Structure 1
Amino acid sequence: MVGMTTTDDAARPARGDGTTRHFTVHHDGVTIPVSRGGRGRPLVLCPGLNSTQADLRELIALLRRDHEVIAFDLRGHGVTSSAAGRYRFEAFLSDLGAVLAEVGRLVPSTPPLLVGYSLGADLAVHHASEHPDAVAGLVLVDGANPLPEPFVSEADLAEFLALAEDLAARRESLLTAREIHDLNLEIDLVRSGILDRYRKIDRPVSMIMSTSIAGDSAEGRAPRHNRLWRAGVERLVREWPHVATHWLDADHRLVFTHARDVARIIRTH
């Protein structure tokens, strides 16, 4: 069951764009914190794994100059997050669906532009493929890439588990290292079949991708992963040349290091 509670005493100024309103969506046993502020056409921003509204605050502030931005935290993320019984792709997808259902109630006349970062991009494509009339278009930031082969190879497993352990130690989410690692492997599987999802979307799609998702080192795993990342986008564009593609000279942190560039491209969608 989806419910909404507006927290008026949490409202605060939104850098010249009026008031930011905070409310929660209760769904599947978790409480999802949502913020809404800005002016212009509605935009829903879906974060990625181990990222939150607070992390994306610079990008959100920039987008609010031209959009009414609805941002939220996925289950297990954010300072007000609540623990959940499952942290799998389908569970996160249901969180996005619950937020968009509430947005549809709040702004019934105008489907929002859906922007997803990393895992959030994959969630956006899956939701739009199942509910094409629910969104005005998609902007996918460094995710939803139809990779021709798994990003995490057998040789990468130990290193990716170590990265997951480092992320878990930072306590940026409630997920354990094993849950983060398993989710990364699941995302690889999801991306192996995501081309079929694109075939079901009849809305404008833009991609904002990093040229060096794994960093700019000439050694280790970075060269293979960077080549594979570009090959996935090229594979998509060969089949769907109408997809607008923008490359930024950055790694996977582009929403933080290149927020102004990302916002500028989103405004042109």
Structure 2
Amino acid sequence: MNNLRIMCSKTKNANFLETMMDSDMGNIRHISKNPATPPNKLRQIFHSEKIHHNVIQDVVKNPSFPQASINRMLEFMSQDFKELDMGYKKYSITLAMLQNPNINNKFLSYFAKSKNKEVIKSILKNPSLAVEIIEDIGESYHPEILKAVASNPKIGQCPKVLGKIMKYSEMYEPLSRNANLPVSHIRYLETYFCKHRENNAMLFANILINPNTPLEILEKYEAKKNYNVILASNPKIPEKMLAKMVKTNSVKIKSEIITNIKNVYVLLKHAQHKNIGIKTTAVLRIAQISAA
């Protein structure tokens, strides 16, 4: 991703975003995702005939997209959301719209009764979804829906549903990706992994990079250098632990640290590495963050 597109997706400068409206489609895609983009500009993108429907999906998910416009469109949508009846573009845009955090929970509650699993999965991605609706959806026994429930950041507020999901080992992998999973459940998943290592590599990796993973688990695997590349991706890994990692000669570990924005400064603070490319990349990442 070039620096200009990073600016388009991260900057809070509305004037800059307006000046970029006539630039290439790649920049427009990032402008459509930026919450700082003025509502009138999002409407302009939405109504443009030249814009691909994937960009329109980003527009309708944007929290700055006018709520009144979303409500008017949802009122005309069928509860069944039959893709063949609606046409794929309209169907995919509608699914994206259900993820907009400004949608009233009355709408979400209504659409949550749909028999279409893709509708339910989209609703579960809405950050404003009420816990009560999550609990209602959690009564399902459909594997795809339960996996989507397991990935919802509010799962910790639904103890009954979480208890049900924990009975199924096939749900452990999506649960382990959930950054808001209670610490007690992460400990359980790590214990499960130790007893069932075969075919559970992704579960283990998710545990190591989960920001809620307790320190004792991180320390347990810190000494095993093969795991350091994974640990370096954890956004809440202690600075003391990172400092040990960056003193190694592993370019791979340092490259992984660089991808983790919060850890870039630690790399420059502690690294004695002579690789100019590593340090240059870190400086560029800091410049990108500052520009945003």
Q: TM-score, normalised by structure 2?
A: 0.28
For the pair shown, the structure with the greater C-alpha radius of gyration is: 2
Q: TM-score, normalised by structure 1?
A: 0.29
More strand by share: 1
The higher relative CO (CA closer than 8 Å, separation ≥ 6) is in 1
